[in-house]
Amino acid sequence: MAKIAPSILSADFANLERDIHDLERNGADWVHVDIMDGIFVPNISIGIPVVQALRPVTDLPLDVHLMIDRPIRYVEEFVKAGADWLTIHVEADQPQNILETLDKIHALGCKAAISLKPRTPAEAAIPYLEKCDMVLIMTVEPGFGGQKFMADMMPKMKQIREWLDDINPECVIQVDGGVDAGTCGLCKENGAEVLVAGSAYFKATDRAEFVKTIQA
């Protein structure tokens, strides 16, 4: 069964605790937290204090997606704040620094993941696959919610899943961007096991039913 990680980027920030408890009641598996610095992506979202505030109000895994430049500078603070998963972008630093960042995340007792922007080829993930617990395939350009799903990312996802099956089969594939009831099937067919849904989840008339559709 697939997992769903609703993105709180689309939540009501004035009532974040309420929305977290709502997604718990509706059967969500993880909480996806989008961190943006206005440099790596052209938007600013939230940071360490929000992760810290979320940790006491839910037992669900906090899946923290760092869309920030040179993430090694902040991984320790995010882990201390309560992140269970930390995803960094392969484009956010030099390759050696990305490898060191993944090692540091693991040393801190946290799950480590990489992410690829849509224009980044699948081959860019190869140096990191053995060190990853998860690979996140972006199906929109990162930075803003509510964008249209890019179906042409499916061959990239399928290729990375094939590589992982050979060298790191325990590593899971996550997909983020335009995921809804109409696109989730295609994602799962191509190897996605964790699906991030933001606006589609929070705008759903029946959120519990939406969760079941993604998980099915």
Give domain limits for the chain: 3-215
Contact (Cβ atoms closer than 8 angstroms) between residue 61 and residue 30: yes
CA distance 200 to 10: 9
The pTM (predicted TM-score) of the whole model is: 0.96
Q: Is the pLDDT of residue 138 over 80?
A: yes
**Residue 86 — pLDDT band, cuts 50, 70, 90?**
very high
Q: Is the pLDDT of residue 119 over 90?
A: yes
State residue 145's pLDDT score. 67
- Active-site residues, by number, are 34, 176
Residue 162's φ and ψ, nearest 5 degrees, are -65, -45
User: Other CB atoms closer than 10 Å to residue 39's CB: what's the count?
Assistant: 12
pLDDT digits (tens, 9 = 90+) for 47-70: 999 999 999 999 999 999 999 999
CATH superfamily of 3-215: Aldolase class I (3.20.20.70)
